[in-house]
Structure 1
Amino acid sequence: MSAIYHDSSRPVSERVADLLARMTPEEKFAQMHALWLVLSEDGNHRERSDLSDEFAGVSTQAALAERLTHGIGQITRPLGTHIVDAQSGVRAANRLQKNLVEDTRLGIPALFHEECLVGLLCKDATLFPSSLNYGSTWDPALIKRAAQQIGEEARSTGCRQGLAPVLDVSRDVRWGRTEETFGEDPWLVGVMACAYVEGLQGEQGDILATLKHYVGHSFSEGARNHAPVHLGFCELNDTFLLPFEMAVKLAKAGSVMPAYHDIDNQPGHSDHFLLTTLLREEWGFDGIIVADYGGVSLLHQHHGVSHDAAESAALAFNAGLDIELPKDDCARHLAEAVERGLIPMAKIDEIVARVLGVKFRLGLFEHPYTDEHRIVLQSDAARQAARDVATRSLTLLENNGILPLRGAPKVAVVGPTADDPLALLSGYSFPVHLIISDMLEEISQVTTPLAALRQSLGEGNVRYAKGCHIIEKRMAGAPVFPGDASGKPMQQSPVSMDQSLIPQAVRAAQESDVVIACVGDLAGLFQSGTVGEGSDTDSLSLPGVQQQLLDALVNTGKPVVVVMTGGRPYNLQGLETRVAAWLIAWAPGQEGGYAIADVLTGYAEPQGRLVVSVPKSAGAMPYYYNHKLKSGGTPFAFHFGSRYPFGYGLSWTKFDYAPLVLLTQEVAIDGEIVLQLRVTNVGERRGSDVVQIYVRDKVASMVRPVQELKAFQRVDLSPGETATLTFTLPVDMLNFTRRDGKRIVEPGEFELRAGASSGDIRSTATVNVTGETRVLPVAWRMMSRCEISRQENSPSVD
């Protein structure tokens, strides 16, 4: 008779209990961590740390084989650790899985995880745009479709947990990981996060999305990676916890990853209140909590809150952690931690039960292997989704009428990012994350702006000059994950200051009708680039000598169209009013060149709207639109503020907003606010606008932001066409956190604002919320909604 845990018809709880009762302590400990291996089809797997010693294989292999006899919880990035063909990688993973399932005592399969924020981190996978691009579309349905395609690629290669999305709320764009965020508004981040989670996990829920970095990672001291965070719980809950709460409660995310920093001296990886009290007990999260890479070790290595690895393991697992990633630096000492009385076996059993429950629910016991013949990468649907995100996220900040380009102009395409495929990719894309000396083969699917413009305008109409370098030679050698970084000396900036290529670019400009100046930054981990994880900045000037290049180009008198790519917004140092146009493309991925060419030539509309403000200078940092009134100082500092605010973006046409109409002037404190707005396309071209609804709490018992986004809707209209937008906002969404940690809604007057951006408010109305102060229930209403109706006499939109 087979064991209960092998019977898929039995409830998961029964299968877990049966298997747990059969396990030795060593087999339980093994389920609480991962191994980071370079897998081989012949079974000669190696630990990643052994790669530097080619002669250390024999004894290491023997030790690894012995450890695997106890099973393993997860395998870290089987296809994303090194350059390997997907089929070969799957065969190697299957070889390891076969050993675990058929040759260990209990046959518990491993769960394979990969990075997948901007596409699966795997050779030949589709290279999607960055999270800033996702957010800039203001299109949750599109982001869900993109995540679905990422999920399909992940499933087909055996990945059952994706380490995405990032729910950090941008506060200071000097932070290198700004590129990984959906933007600076917590509610919009939550909306996009829910769409991404639903898309990645799919209806079957057979792959886990991982919410990170829990929590407040983006408000670090000085916008420096891993730096402390200074926040009280009220602001933490209202701004940084909100997206996580939405993705847990509404999208049922399967996993959460804590952050590296400490908040008010408490490291995230040992915070029992955040990991257990709030996440599990109050929100009802029932998934698994996995460590950020090296995060448990940092408890003793960096934070100094424990004496050694055994104590760090006990602190993290007692706080609520389920699995140490990427390997077992601290979990290998769990037996010692139990013996020292630092963690009870009852806690071990609780954790392992959760891990096993997830594996049963994912169907790993019934389907442990991956079919190498059914791998799907770079499908037409995936490439189209990537292109749609890239195109719809492009954001036009300036245009003196030169765009879209007309006729057949002679164009000089100039700049260091014009023909660099890596310039279109963000830090968690495969080629950037694994930078080596020669990545040409791995970036062949990327179409650069130069290549796309040559196709669109014709080879004979396009001149090219690089103009300058950002980094002359992309080098490996930076730490691969933060746990490697301790004790390493500070490296010098790799940014080039060479101006010798500028004169050639000026000549190309003088011989052309229009200049397309492609500038920006290069993603790279830990200062191997100018943006990305560990690549923070102290300036919002373009890296290197790109500003000098732009100055020289503008001084030619030729119209200059700036196309900026990268992971944060930069200033043009006064050229904003002198350039002919300015388009921000962020990191638009492998299809980004096509997207840029399509918008420049008018084939597509610039539909993007800013999700991070573009500050006047680095001195304005931290800056975000939903600041408090006194954030600018008294008097307001001259350098405070943003020339291009949150929600801003130009189109090919213009829109008129009629006055905002409230259907009822008073609303009960547990009711809904309904408001209507008519929008008309008063231009000569069809186009779309993103109508944004903000709220200002006129008087509250605690200080509130000057305004907060509560609803939005894109509307597409033909010239002269009018649409009526009816927004419904649950009063629950007007909440804030009281000193006792409760989310409350107070009665009183709230100003509703309709606008084309946070800085372009077209109409306001005031609603009076009546009743007694209300403490929100666990299942409070987090989403607004909008219905669109079109006038019968409006032109057809077919």
Structure 2
Amino acid sequence: MTSSSTPLYKDPAQPLAARVDDLLGRMTLEEKIAQMHAFWLILSESGEHRVRPGEAFVVASDADSVLRRLAHGIGQITRPLGTHSVEAGSGLRALNKLQRYLRNETRLGIPAISHEECLAGMMTRDGTLFPSPLALGATWNPALVEEVAAKIGFECRELGCQQGLAPVLDVSRDVRWGRTEETFGEDPYLVGVMATRYVRGLQGPRRDVLATLKHYAGHSFSEGARNHAPVHVGWRELNDTFLLPFEMAVKQANAGSVMPAYHDIDGEPAHCSRHLLTEVLREQWGFDGLVVADYVGVSLLYRHHAVAADAAEAAALAFNAGLDVELPADDCAQHLAEAIERGLISMTTVDRIVSRVLTEKFRLGLFEKTFEDPPAAPALRTPEAVATALEAARQAIVVLDNRGLLPLSPAGTPRIAVIGPTADDPLAMLSGYSYPAHVVLHDQVEDTRHVVTPLQGLRAIHGAENVRYAKGCSIIEVRKKGTPVFPGDVRAEGIQPSSPVSLRTDQIPEAVDVARDADVAIVFVGDLAGLFQTGTVGEGSDADSLDLPGVQQQLLDAVVDTGTPTVVVLTSGRPYNLGGLEDRIAAFVMAFAGGQQGGTAIAEVLSGRAEATGRLTVSVPHSVGAMPYYYNHKFKSGGTPIALHFGSRYPFGHGLGYTRFEYRNLEAPASPIPIEDGEIVISFDVANTGSRKGAEIPQLYVRDRLASVVRPVRELKAFGRVVLDVGEVLRVTFRVPVDMLSFTGMAGARIVEPGRFELGIGASSADIRLRAEIDVAGSTRTLEQNWRMESSCEIRPLSPATLL
């Protein structure tokens, strides 16, 4: 029992709901509102915390008033270690200092939730730098994604972080979009599987770090692929393509948080959509976590979208719709008392929201923490984490084309020319939400000596004396902030942003000389990730072309014209075309942003020390004119007659290895399959008929032959990762619940219809090796809430007798 001197809410033996009710009943209005927003502060070990400089737009208070308001408590602390360059131990001590103040010196002692960005690693100065999500998707290895996320979650816990603002569940539709690098790819099922594993890895079995699903929803299909732009989709497309990954991660991984997106859909901003934030997310899916705003997303309701007259009305719109916490600060939440007085929001709604926030804080165990400084320094960038980062970078690399040059011959020592602007730039290995690239926006420069570049990796394997280097050109000569509009003010007519991309060509002749004197030239081209036009890809760094940025195409043309066999390695956040050189080069490799071990992984795959096992999760379109393009399009998407620029040279699922695989002995399921609880069970053999060990990614695609609404030409429904020795044959069995043949019907609900379905098994969406057809029998069925959302892949070796 709780003693009379100890409040019930402080007794961990009491039921959670009782603790929440007791604490809520003790709170003043100011203390309740404080739980509904964050503060973005520069924390100090001394306790002299200050407002983050330059954030007047976000924090509408001076430093003294902010510190006074901390006496009411606070819902969240925004990026205490990810905002500024601080040694990890010092940053953790400063955070603990703040938490002890909240715990011990405020009236009610309510700790804060500390959140950080963690998309490609815990985004702090000393964190491990993992490959970008687009690279992780290319591994087609959900278990490895879960392992990566577990390492990130470990580093979050080491630094007192209870919520990570990842993963991104946006489904790529138009690769001009700068945030393409943040996605897992263009297929909603694959994105859902990868996101589910990321959430499980980050949160762990106790959900003591909250994963944040973003950007809810449809953010990646913006008008013209422009950041924040409107999204034009109907409910059926929204539900089947863009909401599916979120539904999977909520229902299968118990995701702790969701973040709405900046855009509007048919005039309704996501931050004030009761339909999305409450009816779909909580009532239909059963989500029980926190809905947190994207940074300044509530403010944009009145500053940009103009659906609210002022900050008080914007706060009321968002919180009435289902928002729980405004991030990164209190621009609108500080006006909630006024909103209550004006009748824009009720105390009942405020109490319901604060109850959800307190519930999560109790679940996280914050009230039982003392926040004392640990005796040892935080364990960051451990050998285990770095090894996982390297393995992820290896498995992500996709060989798009190879005319026999790769892997580089071990016979003799070839003279290698390493050329290109991304060959020896550590920042070229990093995505926009990697700490060193992220802080370019704030004119900060971080130590990147732990990032291995491709030049360093190749010299380590082939010897420095056999590798000559010439940069050839720059992508951006000086990395700095300077975008004239932040973030994307639509009223800025007359402002002409100037591109930071370099157009200098004076270094190309040296590169040509180096290429002529080599046995093979490896040209590294691509992107420099950076937010809001500080780079060529990343948030707010959208593209109007799929030509290589700057003068990289001129460099590549000049090197290929030397006649030296040329390998092109694209280190980028989106696919690019090579100006027609695809048929003239010896090999084309897509390496994405591989993180701090990206250079090592590239060198190992090019040399054959590691296998080429990556497969595309975004199609590489023929030209920018094909945009938006994705493999799971509708039959009429190409136009009539089919437009010449439509389609993809390197399709979804494509990737070459260094050996050969055959698909054999298809065993299709017996039809008809019952619509109520049926399962498609299809088996086949995969044989390694080449000369070396390798990994294959068998993929199952389904096409609905006849439906009540227009359906895609094909959809991924199952995949696996099969590693085979030379001559080995493995039996692969996919099990696909009939529920996964569902779609959103005319009435707006998810249904399964009877009928005939084409099954295709192959090495990519365009390389189908085995085919079958099945019938599903029964009456059209509306799916229940907990429908079967994921297939399985079973792999077993064949006995010698079976092989005869």
TM-score range, shorter chain: over 0.9
Could you tell me whether the CA contact under 8 Å between 2:436 and 2:445 is conserved in 1?
no
Name the counterpart of 1:362. Answer: 364
Residue type matched to 2:616 in 1? L
Could you tell me whether the CA contact under 8 Å between 1:229 and 1:262 is conserved in 2?
yes
Name the counterpart of 1:315. Answer: 317
Quote the Cα distance in structure 1 between the aligned partners of 2:484 and 2:49: 22
Quote the Cα distance in structure 1 between the aligned partners of 2:233 and 2:488: 25
Work out which of the residue numbers 738, 754, 760 in structure 2 matches 1:753.
760
Task: Report how far residue 481 of structure 1 moved.
Answer: 7.2
Name the counterpart of 1:527. Answer: 533
Residue type matched to 1:347 in 2? T
The reply to whether residue 693 of structure 1 matches residue 700 of structure 2 is: yes
Quote the Cα distance in structure 2 between the aligned partners of 1:794 and 1:177: 51
Work out which of the residue numbers 146, 154, 157 in structure 2 matches 1:144.
146
The reply to whether residue 606 of structure 1 matches residue 612 of structure 2 is: yes
Could you tell me whether the CA contact under 8 Å between 2:666 and 2:682 is conserved in 1?
yes
Residue type matched to 1:107 in 2? G
CA deviations 1:707-746 (Å, max 9, x no partner) are 0000001111112211111111100000000122210000
Name the counterpart of 2:25. Answer: 21
Quote the Cα distance in structure 2 between the aligned partners of 1:37 and 1:688: 48
Name the counterpart of 1:463. Answer: 468
Name the counterpart of 1:290. Answer: 292
Quote the Cα distance in structure 1 between the aligned partners of 2:518 and 2:680: 55
Could you tell me whether the CA contact under 8 Å between 1:718 and 1:795 is conserved in 2?
no
Name the counterpart of 1:385. Answer: 388
Taking a change above 3 Å as real, the CA distance of residues 219 and 51 of structure 1, as seen in their structure-2 partners, is: closer
Quote the Cα distance in structure 2 between the aligned partners of 1:568 and 1:611: 11
Work out which of the residue numbers 352, 355, 368 in structure 2 matches 1:353.
355
- Secondary structure of 1:284's partner? coil
Name the counterpart of 1:179. Answer: 181
Scaled by the length of structure 1, what TM-score is found?
Answer: 0.97
The reply to whether residue 558 of structure 1 matches residue 561 of structure 2 is: no
Task: Report how far residue 491 of structure 1 moved.
Answer: 2.3
Task: Report how far residue 447 of structure 1 moved.
Answer: 0.5
Name the counterpart of 2:429. Answer: 424
- Secondary structure of 2:736's partner? strand
Work out which of the residue numbers 565, 571, 577 in structure 2 matches 1:571.
577
Work out which of the residue numbers 262, 266, 289 in structure 2 matches 1:260.
262
CA deviations 1:499-546 (Å, max 9, x no partner) are 110000000001111101010011011111100000000100000000
CA deviations 1:632-654 (Å, max 9, x no partner) are 00010000000000000000011
Quote the Cα distance in structure 1 between the aligned partners of 2:415 and 2:598: 22
Taking a change above 3 Å as real, the CA distance of residues 20 and 87 of structure 1, as seen in their structure-2 partners, is: same
Quote the Cα distance in structure 1 between the aligned partners of 2:74 and 2:170: 30
Report which stretch shifted further, 591-600 or 721-730: 721-730
Percent pairwise identity: 62
- Secondary structure of 1:69's partner? helix
Report which stretch shifted further, 372-381 or 729-738: 372-381
Quote the Cα distance in structure 2 between the aligned partners of 1:615 and 1:794: 45
The reply to whether residue 47 of structure 1 matches residue 51 of structure 2 is: yes
Superposed counterparts of 1:106-505, under 5 Å: 106-369=108-371, 371-372=373-374, 373-406=376-409, 407=411, 408-435=413-440, 441-478=446-483, 482=487, 489-505=495-511
Task: Report how far residue 482 of structure 1 moved.
Answer: 3.7
Task: Report how far residue 314 of structure 1 moved.
Answer: 0.1
Unaligned segments of structure 2, at least 5 residues: none
Residue type matched to 1:631 in 2? S
Task: Report how far residue 41 of structure 1 moved.
Answer: 1.2
Residue type matched to 1:648 in 2? H
Residue type matched to 1:300 in 2? Y
The reply to whether residue 641 of structure 1 matches residue 647 of structure 2 is: yes
The reply to whether residue 709 of structure 1 matches residue 711 of structure 2 is: no
RMSD (Å) for aligned C-alpha atoms: 1.9
Superposed counterparts of 1:757-776, under 5 Å: 757-776=764-783
Residue type matched to 1:568 in 2? R
Report which stretch shifted further, 471-480 or 34-43: 471-480
Residue type matched to 1:330 in 2? C
Scaled by the length of structure 2, what TM-score is found?
Answer: 0.97
Name the counterpart of 1:4. Answer: 8
Runs of 4+ in 1 over 2 A off after TM superposition: 49-53, 59-62, 370-374, 436-442, 476-491, 793-796
Q: May I ask how many residue pairs the two structures share in their alignment?
A: 793
Name the counterpart of 1:778. Answer: 785
CA deviations 1:394-442 (Å, max 9, x no partner) are 0000111111112311101000000000000000010111116986642
Task: Report how far residue 452 of structure 1 moved.
Answer: 1.0
Could you tell me whether the CA contact under 8 Å between 1:479 and 1:485 is conserved in 2?
no
Taking a change above 3 Å as real, the CA distance of residues 501 and 588 of structure 1, as seen in their structure-2 partners, is: same
Residue type matched to 1:734 in 2? L
Name the counterpart of 2:73. Answer: 71
Quote the Cα distance in structure 1 between the aligned partners of 2:458 and 2:589: 15
CA deviations 1:256-295 (Å, max 9, x no partner) are 0000000011000000000000100010000000000000
Task: Report how far residue 136 of structure 1 moved.
Answer: 0.3
Task: Report how far residue 44 of structure 1 moved.
Answer: 1.5
Could you tell me whether the CA contact under 8 Å between 1:293 and 1:481 is conserved in 2?
no
Task: Report how far residue 682 of structure 1 moved.
Answer: 1.1
Superposed counterparts of 1:579-658, under 5 Å: 579-658=585-664
Work out which of the residue numbers 89, 92, 95 in structure 1 matches 2:91.
89
Quote the Cα distance in structure 2 between the aligned partners of 1:377 and 1:410: 38
Name the counterpart of 2:732. Answer: 725
Task: Report how far residue 566 of structure 1 moved.
Answer: 1.0
Residue type matched to 1:731 in 2? V
Could you tell me whether the CA contact under 8 Å between 1:474 and 1:528 is conserved in 2?
yes
Taking a change above 3 Å as real, the CA distance of residues 235 and 50 of structure 1, as seen in their structure-2 partners, is: closer
Quote the Cα distance in structure 1 between the aligned partners of 2:708 and 2:29: 53
Taking a change above 3 Å as real, the CA distance of residues 479 and 168 of structure 1, as seen in their structure-2 partners, is: farther
Residue type matched to 2:699 in 1? Q
Quote the Cα distance in structure 2 between the aligned partners of 1:392 and 1:571: 23
Task: Report how far residue 478 of structure 1 moved.
Answer: 4.3
Quote the Cα distance in structure 2 between the aligned partners of 1:184 and 1:177: 13
Quote the Cα distance in structure 2 between the aligned partners of 1:26 and 1:506: 68
The reply to whether residue 790 of structure 1 matches residue 793 of structure 2 is: no
Report which stretch shifted further, 519-528 or 479-488: 479-488
Residue type matched to 1:612 in 2? V
Could you tell me whether the CA contact under 8 Å between 1:673 and 1:731 is conserved in 2?
yes
